[in-house]
Amino acid sequence: MKRCTWILIWALLLGWVLSSAFRGHVAADDNNGDDDQVPAIVITEPQGSTQVTEGGPGAHYTIALTEAPVAAVTITLSPDDEVTVEPAVVVFAVDSWDEPQIVTVTAVDDDVAEGAHTGRVGHTVTSADERYEGLAVPEVVVAITDNDTPGVRIEPTSLSILEGGPPGSYRVRLTSRPGASVVVVPHSRGDGLELAPHQLTFDAAHWDDWQTVAVSVDDDAVAMGPRTGVIAYRAESDDPTYDGLAITDVHVSLSDDDVAGVTVAPTTVHVEEGGATDTYGVTLESQPLADVTIRVSSDGQTRTTPTLLSFAPSDWNQTQQVTVTAEDDLVEEGDHESVIEHSVESADPAYDGLAVQAVTAVIADRRPPGVRIRESVGSTRVTEGGPSDSYTIALRSMPLSNVVITIDADSEVTVQPSAITFRPWDWDEEVTVTVWAVDDDVAEGAHTSTLRHTASSNDPRYQGIEIADVVVSITDNDAAGVRVSPTSVQVAEGGATATYQVVLESRPTADVTVRIVTDDQARTQPTTLIFGPATWSTSRSVTVTAEDDGVVEGDHQSTIRHIVESNDGVYDGIEVAAVTVAITDRTTPAGVHIVETGSATHVTEGGAGDTYTVVLASRPQAAATIHITTDAQTTVAPSQLVFTSGNWRDARVVAVSAVDDRRAEGDHASTIRHRSTSADPAYDGISIRDVVAFITDNDRAGVSISTHHIDMVEGDDGAGYTLALESEPATEVLVRVSTDGLTVASPSEVRFTPTDWQTPRWVSIAVDDDANPQGTRVSTVRHSVESGDVHYQAVSVDAVSVTVYDNDRADVIVSSRVEPITTPDGSTSFSVRLTSRPRGDVVIPLHISSDLCRLDLDAVRLTRDTWQEGVQVMVSANVGAFWRGEAQVIIALGPTSSSDPHYDGRDPEDVVVTLRIERSTQDVWMPLAVRLWPPLPAAPALRAVDNPQGLGDYSVSWDAADGADSYVLEEATDASFADGQELYAGPGTTQAVSGRGPGRYYYRVAATNAWGQSAWSAAVVVDVLWEREPNDTATEANGPLLDGITYCGALAVGDVQDYYRLAMGAAGRIEVWLDGVPAGQNYDLVVRDAALQLVGYSAELGDASEHARTETLPAGTYYIQVYQRSGGGSPEPYALRFSVR
């Protein structure tokens, strides 16, 4: 009890001492006569106020204490939404209380047009010093100068539109964020202007989005000439700065497509005095503003009905007919003309006094009676058994009654009709008489026939009137002649005979005797042939036999002549073709003769071929076959020739063609060899000379590139182009790829061999991602070629220009490679950073898909100070000590949240962590039942897919797993395998994949046995870069494509368009590039939404590259359409890529 009392006393005593000490420090007399001063906090503003400008530098004020505190004094600054302060907390320490603290005030740079306004900074004081605790500190009122002005921006402010042509357009947006929705209502001042839409609405979220107004004009029929229109606007809003705001007018220049005019058709009419009339039509070419009167006047030779035409605006396009009648003046003046004039009167100045085409009336004068005959081309000619001819008949004047004209033809021709009746009302209508030659068999030569005409009528003027004859010239189709076939035969001394045929070519008028005369080399049977008028067309056979004279004279010829005798003068002594007899001598030696056209054989790859002939020198005792072989440079047809005892003298033609390979060899040669086989020993294996074919090459050595220009953003690594050889090389071709350092090309060496030269090689271009804003730069990728093929050595290759855009834009970067976790207590990590300094903190939530792993953070916070170095996230295994197998854990990031709108709502890429823990020798201590039950197979390991060209055909392979009976392979287009499909199930370890279109494919494999399935393997990713047909419609579209990757396709002949699909997970703008359009082609680029409405378009001329950019679009599915406008198509590939911003 005493001990407790003493402790209490000593505690009170110590408290009194300390209290006295502190009181002595605070209240010590400072010898200035103001004992016990009350402490205060003093705020000092330069020039008595604090003034800042939005987007400008900050202003400063100071905070100071008037008295020394006994404990630290903390002042917390509370700015309103109009300003920010730095620092947010001011602390005065006991030993430095008299040092004033500087506060920097900065205006918040918003988009709102507020005019001059104020912000306020409050101060809260906390301290263990009772004198300062809660001490009142005045607010600092900050005067803010606004840098935003309300306004409506219009581009362009002038348009030119053609009436009836395509609409024009302009776009509208606000210049600052409004405090309330702004409705901009247009109204037009001008004839026929139509606007769509009729009003535009802007709100605080979309005030700076451009909205497009389409302007069109009614296509009327009135000729008003060029004119102007004005589109004015008024603004309506609860925001007083925008309500009633003055807006710039849009001026529209209108071009008229209508012209005042009068059409007269026809401009020539035909009339007859006292007879036929004619008409013509008159029509206005555009709608008048008032009635139009057209006066019709003639020169006295004709008269018109009506003489006055009136067109109203309501019936201006109705054609009015004018009837023209010739004045029957009874004057014999011959055919003559009359001119009909037109004059125009109207209150419409465009029509009043308008010049109008005159009409010429051709007048037929009254004529005396007569019959007019017109022969085609001035004469009448026909051919026996051939085409007919015709002529026309008409009267020259009107008869008083019917006139019948009868046509009399002899036996050489026939006519249709043979009699024609003309009546008083159709006397001037020409009637056609058709004439045919009678096709007899008599050879008469060219001869004529006369057609005579007789007229009969009750009109005495036409009764028996004289009518001209028509003389018809007839071409005979029968010619006297003796036809001999064939005119050459082959026989052999003491061997084969031959025959030929003899027949007359037309009917004779008397018997025809043909006497056959031979020389001493051959004889015929019979020697005389007789043809009568009834048997002239029966062919007679003549047999020819060679005289076997036993003379060694070699192969020789005999000529058989023919002499004709007849009482038919046409046939008597007529010439007849002789027959040439080729005679094979018994003693001719064996041999094969080759004759080249022009003494040499020249062919061209892919072009003209050549020929040569092969013939035997003597008759073979048995068939001789000539076998023709060539090397790989040429082909021959036929490849073998068979000569017999009957055709051995017939020269055979061998056609030679160059093989159209793809190798650039220059001009070269090919050797064609011949070999003979026969049962005749004289011809079996006989020596035959070679034929050397000289070949003109059509290939050239060259290296082509798929595009000459690429657009990239810093950090891009998915762009590139293809290299391809233009012909097959003789040896390997090495293309070295080099850059200027701004970009990196991979690979730097591309090799083509004679076996794979046709496969294009992909060259990937990457750009280093630095943090320095450097603007847009251009990098050049160059190529050099090395090869043992002299045609490829040092061949020139075009360079590729790469435009690099700076990536100073908001984005979240997640490290792409994460090491796997291989032990139960192991871990791995990944980094997260930003591409630019944010305006406020950026928070990125983390979500893990499985409890097999755990994270050391629930979210990543990146500030203005840590945005660049980023944050490292640790991922640790969360399994038992005995867990074995392989699994994948997906860590989803986002969406982000931030006061910086550029970083708010972003969805960074997911992170995939592989947990791969294998059995080891250390597991042997475990009880057997624990280690092996259930005996599931180990997880297999997928191998990397070898597909550097990004083709749609490849193989997926994996290593065999312990304890596995079979395997299951899955394919997906989503990293989480949400859309996974079983691709293979079986015992194999390789699966061929084919027909994949462009896009990214994920694969994983698991092993199975009777006890179950192993964990899934780590996923393998394959990017396919080449299009797959058919993709001609949106339903067949290839995809989904990935942002920043370059894909290749082709619009071959007959392939009009290609469709691709992309998915946008958040709102953004789509930008698409189409490069490498083949020469001579014109492709267009279209971006469509899910309803296939057009949202972006590019249509450059010719083979220029296309670049389409959309406005901000909502999340969803979109389509890219590559369209062949002209050029017919090409197999050469184009390059396509897109980005979403």
Residue 745 pLDDT greater than 80, yes or no: yes
The two structure tokens encoding residue 929: 């039942």
Using an 8 Å Cβ cutoff, are 705 and 722 in contact? yes
% the chain with pLDDT above 70: 92
Task: Tell me the average pLDDT of the chain.
Answer: 86
The mean pLDDT value for 362-372 works out to: 82
- Looking at residue 331, what is its pLDDT? 53
Question: Which string of DSSP letters, residue by residue, matches 1064-1078?
Answer: ESS-B-EEEEEE-PP
Confidence of residue 1089 (pLDDT cuts 50, 70, 90): very high
Give yes or no for residue 475 having a pLDDT over 50. Answer: yes
Residue 373 has pLDDT above 70, yes or no: yes
* Cα dihedral: 804, 807, 812, 817 (round 10): 30
- If one counts every other C-beta atom within 10 angstroms of the C-beta of residue 15, the result is 10
Strand, helix or coil at 1080?
Answer: coil
Does residue 6 carry a pLDDT above 50? no
Q: What is the mean pLDDT of residues 477-485?
A: 85
Residue 932 phi, psi dihedral angles, 5° rounding: -110, 5
Token duo for residue 560: 């058989």
Q: What is the pLDDT of residue 619?
A: 80
For 196-217, how does the pLDDT look when each residue is reduced to its tens digit (9 = 90+)?
Answer: 888 889 888 888 899 898 888 7
* Average pLDDT of the segment spanning 866-894: 86
Residue 614 pLDDT:
95
pLDDT digits (tens, 9 = 90+) for 1009-1038: 988 888 888 889 999 999 999 999 999 999
* Among 531-545, 582-596, 675-689, 926-940, the least confident range: 926-940
Q: Over 90: is that where the pLDDT of 838 sits?
A: no
**Could you give the C-alpha distances from 1122 to 561, 708, 854, 1053, 1080, in angstroms and in order?**
77, 19, 47, 14, 16
Neighbours of 496 (CB within 10 A): 15
- Could you give the C-alpha distances from 727 to 733, 744, 1053, in angstroms and in order? 11, 28, 22
pLDDT tens readout for residues 131-170: 999 998 999 999 999 888 888 889 888 888 877 778 888 8
Closest CA to 92 of 58, 123, 119, 122: 123
Domains of the chain: 41-145 (2.60.40.2030), 152-255 (2.60.40.10), 262-364 (2.60.40.10), 371-475 (2.60.40.2030), 482-584 (2.60.40.10), 592-696 (2.60.40.10), 703-805 (2.60.40.10), 809-918 (2.60.40.2030), 934-1026 (2.60.40.10), 1029-1140 (2.60.120.380)
Under the banding of pLDDT at 50, 70 and 90, the label for residue 5 is very low
Q: From the CB of residue 805, how many other CB atoms can be counted at a distance below 10 Å?
A: 15
pLDDT band at 190 (very low <50, low <70, confident <90, very high): low
240: pLDDT strictly greater than 90: no
The answer to whether residue 543 scores a pLDDT higher than 90 is yes
Residue 732 has pLDDT above 90, yes or no: yes
Contact 778, 803 (CB under 8 A): yes
Write the pLDDT tens digit of every residue in 1101-1122.
Answer: 889 999 999 988 999 999 999 9
Residue 23 confidence (pLDDT): 36
Q: Which of 33-37, 620-624, 916-920 has the lowest mean pLDDT?
A: 33-37
User: Which residues are CB-neighbours of 565 under 8 A, at least 6 positions away?
Assistant: 512, 513, 515, 572, 573
Q: Is the peptide bond before 508 cis (omega within 30 degrees of 0)?
A: no
Residue spans of beta strands (DSSP E) within 409-497: 413-416, 419-422, 431-437, 447-457, 470-475, 482-485, 488-492
pLDDT in the model for residue 492:
87
Mean pLDDT, to the nearest integer, of 684-694?
93
Burial of 1035: CB neighbours in 10 Å, binned 0-12, 13-18, 19+:
exposed
Q: Which two tokens stand for residue 933?
A: 């039950």
The full DSSP string for 11-23 is HHHHHHHHHHHHH
- Which are the contacts of 761, defined by CB distance < 8 A and separation ≥ 6? 722, 723, 724, 735, 750, 752, 949
Biggest CA–CA distance in the chain, Å, is 185
Enclosing H/E stretch for 4: helix 2-26
Q: Residue 550: what pLDDT?
A: 46
Instruction: Check if the beta carbon of residue 580 is closer than 8 Å to that of residue 488.
Output: yes
Backbone φ/ψ region at 411: left (φ over 0), alpha (ψ -120 to 50), beta: alpha
Residue with structure tokens 């070949």?
695
The first and second tokens of residue 927, run together, are 């009880």
In the structure, what pLDDT confidence band is assigned to residue 27 with cuts at 50, 70 and 90? very low
User: Nearest to residue 88, comparing CAs of 121, 133, 40?
Assistant: 121
CA distance 766 to 748: 12
520: pLDDT confidence band, cut at 50, 70 and 90?
Answer: confident
Which residues neighbour 900 within 8 Å (Cβ) at sequence distance 6 or greater?
Answer: 810, 838, 839, 840, 842
Among candidate residues 1072, 1039, 1021, the one with its CA nearest the CA of residue 816? 1021
Q: Is 600 helix (H, G, I), strand (E, B) or coil?
A: coil
Q: Give the pLDDT score at 443.
A: 77
The DSSP 8-state label assigned to residue 42 in this structure reads E
Sign of torsion over alpha carbons 876, 878, 883, 888 = negative
Task: Give residue 474's identity as a one-letter amino acid code.
Answer: I
863: tokens are: 């500030």
* Average pLDDT of the segment spanning 734-752: 93
Question: What is the pLDDT at residue 1127?
Answer: 84
Average pLDDT over residues 685-692: 94
